Amino acid sequence: MAKHDHGHDHTAPPSDEALRVKALESLLAEKGLIDTQAVDEIIEQYETKIGPRNGAKVIARAWVDPDFKRRLLENASEAMKELGVSGLESEDMVVLENTPQIHNLVVCTLCSCYPWAVLGLPPNWYKSPPYRARAVRDPRSVLAEFGTELGDDVEVRVWDSNAEIRYLVLPERPEGTEDMDEAALAELVTRDSMIGVARAQTPGRGAER
């Protein structure tokens, strides 16, 4: 333990993470305090089952069904439950509609808050210092890094998820999609478009993420 006190805690060298978590998990299991199969199941859920396809489903429905979209904008948590989308870190949702005049972008400057049940676990860049520091200060330079350009006439709204409300961007429906069905539309909705760093895909391009 450090003998000085300068207001923060010290730990073992970070490169030892693998050893540290193995030691922690085995110790807890030996003491009968955890069921390691429960740990396995949590991993399985977030690695394979819960992800941005949940959000894409919601967005596609909003694009084709104006009444659903209205309900989504009024009470996002309840509307999403209609599609079976709900859960941890998405209990209190607000959906932000992008328009030609308004572009929304979501960040958590203080840590990494993110709507897990709708988008899965966040990518590293979302949780890292550069994005967290700059998204609130200079969102247009952030968008440019993702290849997203906006005109000067567009209002950029950045949402810092510092409390327990979680935000989801409803990206604009791309041009040339009038004849597409809901499932095909959902394919155009990328995770990045629901965070707000990118627009939804236009039809004909390969899906990225």
CB of 33 to another protein, least distance (A): 7
Under the binding rule (CB under 8 A), the answer on residue 127 touching another protein is yes
Size of interface with another protein, in residues (CB under 8 A): 87
Under the binding rule (CB under 8 A), the answer on residue 187 touching another protein is no
Q: Which two tokens stand for residue 198?
A: 């990118």
> Which one, 71 or 140, has the nearer CB to another protein?
140
Q: What span, in angstroms and rounded, lies between the C-alpha atoms of 107 and 157? A: 11
- Restricted to residues 76-95, the positions that interact with another protein (CB under 8 A) are 86-92, 94
Under the binding rule (CB under 8 A), the answer on residue 75 touching another protein is no
Contact 55, 114 (CB under 8 A): no
b (16+ CB within 10 A) / e for 32-61: eeeeeeeeeeeeeeeeeebbbbbbbbbbbb
Q: In the set 133, 149, 181, 202, which binds another protein (CB under 8 A)?
A: 133
- Restricted to residues 161-180, the positions that interact with another protein (CB under 8 A) are 161-165
> Which one, 64 or 112, has the nearer CB to another protein?
112
CB of 8 to another protein, least distance (A): 5
- The DSSP result for 144-168, as a single string, is HHTT----TTSEEEEEE--SS-EEE
Q: What span, in angstroms and rounded, lies between the C-alpha atoms of 76 and 61? A: 13
Residues tagged active-site: 108, 111-113
Contact 166, 93 (CB under 8 A): yes
> Which one, 130 or 176, has the nearer CB to another protein?
130
- Restricted to residues 26-55, the positions that interact with another protein (CB under 8 A) are 26-28, 31-35, 37-43, 45-47, 50-51
Q: How many CB atoms lie within 10 A of CB 72?
A: 26
Only one of the segments 64-72, 110-118, 174-182, 199-207 lies at the binding site for another protein (rule: CB under 8 A); that segment is 110-118
